[in-house]
Amino acid sequence: MSSQYSGSDSVARPLSRGDLKTLSLSALGGALEFYDFIIFVFFATVVGQLFFPAEMPEWLRQVQTFGIFAAGYLARPLGGLIMAHFGDLLGRKRVFTLSIFLMAVPTLCMGLLPTYADIGIAAPLALLALRVVQGAAIGGEVPGAWVFVAEHVSDRHTGFACSTLTAGLTAGILLGSITATLINHLFSPQQVADYAWRIPFLLGGVLGLFSVYLRRWLHETPVFAELKQRQSLADELPLKAVIRAHRPAVFLCMLLTWVLSAGIVVVILMTPSLLQTQYGISPTDALQANSLAIVALSVGCVLAGWIVDRIGPGLTFMGGGLLLLLSTALFYGYLAQHPDWLLPLYGLAGFSVGAIGAIPMVMVKAFPAAVRFSGLSFSYNLAYALCGGLTPILVSLLLTWSPMAPAYYVGSLCVLFILLGLWLWRGTETARVILNPVQIL
């Protein structure tokens, strides 16, 4: 039996006012939740100074700080699997709301934590524990959000819907960047270290609770409602069905997640700190440039989603991968000699990262509706834990060998992106089966 349930009467149905409302509220809620998850990285330098011994070498402090950041990614698989299990059996909306609540509370607590000078080793351990809870929450949020919006629109708009949600998530990064820029502009470095670093975390907790309220206005997806009405929900553990019948789809989604994580973690999240430590750029200038890059990224995401609906993932992946490869090589290669080119170079790199906006459409379509949440969550979160979580540590270590380490890392994943695009474009039998799954439970 085919699994390609649609949330519409026709695969060609245009976007309705209700669809646009769902996309807008989902994107806004996702932006506020992702702000909570990533605000940590924008204050990685000051957090490292406050939550680790002062006598610790700078390179070790940076590695350990990014290690705590990575812990959030390492916790994603378990949290994502648990939430996806109930999302496939009880409904998408309930999990969609729960994830943001579990994000808001730890963020609020981070803003209230005592530092190493106050409670010693308990400070970084408490920070680590809160980061793990955040990771579990985001593990259910991102794949759940993609499934939620994709199942509300017709097939011809799946790419646009998923990319709009992705742009909303990146807008959360922008909100974090703007907040960090304002904090560094309004307060002196000493004031930031004394108390002002807490403000973004406290703000994030409040915004997260507001997002919980926003999601009350969303409705269950038509796809899940149809599955429930037809009594076509998974009759066994959804993850078991995924592993047994959809291993090629899992492998493809893990590779695509690796590509996605390289662009976001390195170019967007790590680079503001690297601009300060590796290129001697001031925090204010680095964060202003990062804000521009994120705006460009959001535009690129939506554009990539619009394009993939029209020409397919193969050509979109190949073109986007080539553009990202060239722009990151230019950015990291020329910045040391031309710091005055920071804004245009970073803006171009951010726009190129937007090619990842085409990725979620492929991952959503790779699994049948009855196990879609579990399949996407399992492959996405496992890959992010293995790849995205370790990326900051790996790049930090590689930087001791070459200042071009970020470009080399991202460039290697761009090659993979291009090869995957070529494979999908050629339309092999395996590729057709993955993108048109059959309900095998």
pLDDT at 250 over 60: yes
**Could you tell me where the DSSP H helices lie in 52-157?**
58-74, 76-89, 92-110, 116-119, 122-150
Question: How confident is residue 431, by pLDDT bands cut at 50, 70 and 90?
Answer: low
| Section 221-226 average pLDDT | 62
Q: Tokens in use for 304? A: 């990539």
| Sequence-distant (≥ 6) Cβ neighbours of residue 118 within 8 angstroms | none
C-alpha span between 187 and 313 (Å, rounded): 46
Of 92-101, 149-158, 297-306, which one has max mean pLDDT?
Answer: 297-306
Residues written for the chain:
441
pLDDT confidence bin for 86, thresholds 50/70/90: low
188 conformational bin, left if phi > 0, alpha if psi -120 to 50, beta if neither: beta
DSSP H or E stretch at residue 200: helix 198-214
Mean pLDDT of the chain: 81
pLDDT of amino acid 401: 83
CA atoms of 129 and 131, how far apart (whole Å) = 5
Mean pLDDT of 104-116: 87
Provide mean pLDDT across the span 288-300: 91
The β-bridge partners of 438 are 2
| CB-based contacts of 53, cutoff 8 Å, min separation 6 | 116
pLDDT at residue 59, as a whole number: 64
Phi, psi of 438, rounded to the nearest 5 degrees:
-105, 140
For residue 276, the model assigns a pLDDT of 84
Cα separations in angstroms, 15 against 3, 242, 270, 303, 345: 22, 31, 36, 16, 35
- pLDDT band of residue 233 (cuts 50, 70, 90) is low
2: β partners? 438
- Cα 435 to Cα 253: distance, rounded to the nearest angstrom: 11
Is residue 336 scored above 60 in pLDDT?
A: yes
Pair of tokens at residue 301: 């995401």
Task: Please state, for a pLDDT cut of 70, what percent of the chain lies above it.
Answer: 83
Average the pLDDT over 99-108 and give the result.
85
Taken in order of first residue, the domains within the chain and their CATH numbers are: 17-435 (1.20.1250.20)
At 169 the pLDDT is: 84
> What is residue 329's predicted lDDT score, i.e. its pLDDT?
93
C-alpha–C-alpha distance, residues 113 and 77, integer Å: 26
pLDDT category of residue 319 using cuts at 50, 70 and 90:
very high
pLDDT digits (tens, 9 = 90+) for 14-67: 666 777 777 877 788 778 878 887 788 778 778 877 877 666 666 676 677 777
Tokens at 8, concatenated:
């519409």
Q: What pLDDT does 141 receive?
A: 76
Q: Three-class SS string for 34-67?
A: HHHHHHHHHCHHHHHHHHCCCCCCHHHHHHHHHH
| The pLDDT of residue 439 | 42
The predicted model gives 344-365 an average pLDDT of 93
Q: What is the pLDDT of residue 279?
A: 81
**39 has which bridge partners?**
none
Rounded to 5 degrees, what are φ and ψ at 234?
-60, 130
Q: What mean pLDDT is predicted for residues 240-265?
A: 88
Q: How confident is the model at residue 91 (pLDDT cuts 50, 70, 90)?
A: low
Q: How far is CA 272 from CA 151, 182, 245, 290, in A?
A: 36, 15, 42, 6
Residue showing tokens 């020409």: 311
User: Pick from 233, 273, 243: which is nearest to 90 by CA?
Assistant: 233
- Tell me which of 4 and 239 has the higher pLDDT: 239
Min mean pLDDT across 10-24, 52-66, 229-243, 290-304 is at 229-243
Entry pTM = 0.79
pLDDT at residue number 7: 41
Report pLDDT for 438.
45
User: Do the Cβ atoms of 358 and 305 come closer than 8 Å?
Assistant: yes
